[in-house]
Amino acid sequence: MMIAARAALTALLATTTLTSQAATYTNPVLGGFHADPSVCRVGGDYYLATSSFEYFPGVPIYHSKDLVHWRQIGHALTRASQLNLAHTRSSQGIYAPTLRCHDGEFYMVTTNMEGGGAFYVHTKDPAGEWSEPVWLNDPSFAMDPSLFFDDDGKVYYTRHGGGEHGGVYQAEIDLKAGKLLEPPRLIWSGTGGVWPEGPHLYKHDGLYYLMISEGGTSYNHSLTMARSSSPFGPYTANPANPILTHRSHPELPLQATGHGDLVQTPEGKWWMPLLGIRPVDNRHHLGRETLLTPVAWNDQGWLTVNGGKPLAVEMSADGLPASSPWPAAPVRDDFNVPKLGLQWSQLRGPGDGLWSLSERSGYLRLKGSTITMNDIAQPAFVARRQEHMRMRATTQLEFLPAAATQSAGLVLRQNEKNYYELRVTGMPERRLELLIRTGGVTSLQASAALPPGPVTLQVESWPDHYAFSFGSGDAPLKLIGTAPTAPLSSESAGGFTGVFIGMFAEGAGKQQAMPAADFAWFDYTPLEK
């Protein structure tokens, strides 16, 4: 009996192991606004960068052991000297970065669209500080730059140029000198789709492969590829282009697929992080997210994506490194450390003087100014990406307005013209307001009187709406109102980002300082995977 039992247990364990090896993974692998992913590998470690537009710090950096589970380890642009976003319009600023690692050095190249053009930074530690920007002598408009390290020691700088119907331009670059060795020249115009952008150059089996996006970064998004025996062409287009698009599959839950990058595992398998969206009733409010798909080279030497099939939410993990999840992120940030956590972002700068973690121990103190959430400037604002369709965000606020124009509270931001606020305001009678701003028009949806003392503010999300609640003391939270997600979608609000959820303060007079808004903690609770 013991032998039989042991044999049964062994069979069960074997079955479990096989099941684990044949497991699936879920797209997106990075939920919420994580657009334009670029990836590189060092040994068994993978690093990924995404775009950040008007948010500061710029270009979040993630680390993974298995290409599925990602943990943020830092930002490439953490200092005002690296990132000038003053007066940068929403969805401008830092466009698609490319992350590359070569000979122990990491390089991130990108464009500050309204703040100086193309540049790169570098470091030996992607979780640490990166260099000051090395601005490039690119004489023309440069978008979506990329770097390619050839095996003969040459390095190539590749980027979009020429506008909507432009093409891909390239030049040799001297990274030590920090300059292009020649003016970039056109190497491929794509297959005829608008915005031939997001180029990445690779070398495989002795040939150069150029992968780009076409069709714009919305529902007509696609990936196309061409190859050549020379890095400067002429390039021959893949006869099977586009190698990926969901534009003819409006029924699929993942849309706008494109802007990918390639990485090879130590075992020789190829994978592609790329962006996509999850529309709700033909609108997406979380932004463009990072997806993952297997890719392979066929007998004709062309890249195939997911075996020619559309991408799905649940995908086979066959060929991925062994699953290596990170510990779950804590729900609560109780603001008891000297620095803001890596999940937090601000608008257009580091916010010096607008916030403090030290003036009141264990609290995030926001000090509102004359700048409001309506302004293309820097308000007192600390927020994080909404990463899940179903989530709950809660904070506790102590704030006593000294003027009727002053307010502080919870905000869901898409841009200056489209946001929701659950705010404490009013003087001498303090009250709670649910403020809705869509298309640049602000309206008061609900209001409630507030007793003295701390106030708990909460928003819970569903795919199609938000529910806002509040409470004082130990009393249960009360619903004050709801608002749809659609007005915060890119289809309604415009732009390339997604919803950020966080804390704000505003309304100081020119002659009168504003009382501090003290946030005791902030909870972000995912209610789905």
Catalytic center residues: 36, 197
Distance of CA 97 to the CA centre of its chain: 11
- Cα distance between residue 226 and residue 238, in whole Å: 5
- Short-list 509, 486, 508, 510, CA closest to 499: 486
The beta-carbon contacts of 122-130 under 8 Å, at least 24 apart in sequence, are: 122/175, 123/76, 126/47, 126/61, 126/63, 126/73, 126/74, 126/76, 127/61, 127/63, 127/73, 127/74, 128/74, 129/78, 130/76, 130/77, 130/78, 130/82, 130/106
Segment holding 384, helix H or strand E: strand 380-385
Yes or no: say if 500 and 386 are a contact pair by the CB < 8 Å rule: yes
Rounded to a whole number of angstroms, the distance between the first and last alpha carbons of the chain is: 42
- Short-list 494, 97, 107, 485, CA closest to 275: 97
* Residue whose entry in the numeric block shows the structure tokens 């997106």: 28
**Concatenated DSSP letters of 198-233:** EEEEEEETTEEEEEEEES-SSTT-EEEEEEESSTT-
Scanning 416-480, the segments in alpha helix (DSSP H) are: none
Segment holding 10, helix H or strand E: helix 2-21
- Cα distance between residue 175 and residue 171, in whole Å: 12
Yes or no: say if 424 and 430 are a contact pair by the CB < 8 Å rule: yes
Q: Is 315 left (phi over 0), alpha (psi -120 to 50) or beta?
A: beta
Burial bucket for residue 473 (CB in 10 Å: 0-12, 13-18, 19+): exposed
Burial bucket for residue 65 (CB in 10 Å: 0-12, 13-18, 19+): middle
- Cα distance between residue 401 and residue 157, in whole Å: 53
Residues of 35-46 as b/e, b for ≥16 C-beta within 10 angstroms?
A: bbbbbbbeeeeb
- Cα distance between residue 163 and residue 186, in whole Å: 13
Q: Give me 426's structure tokens.
A: 């009013």
- Cα distance between residue 125 and residue 131, in whole Å: 11
Adjacent-strand bridge partners of 290: 30, 275
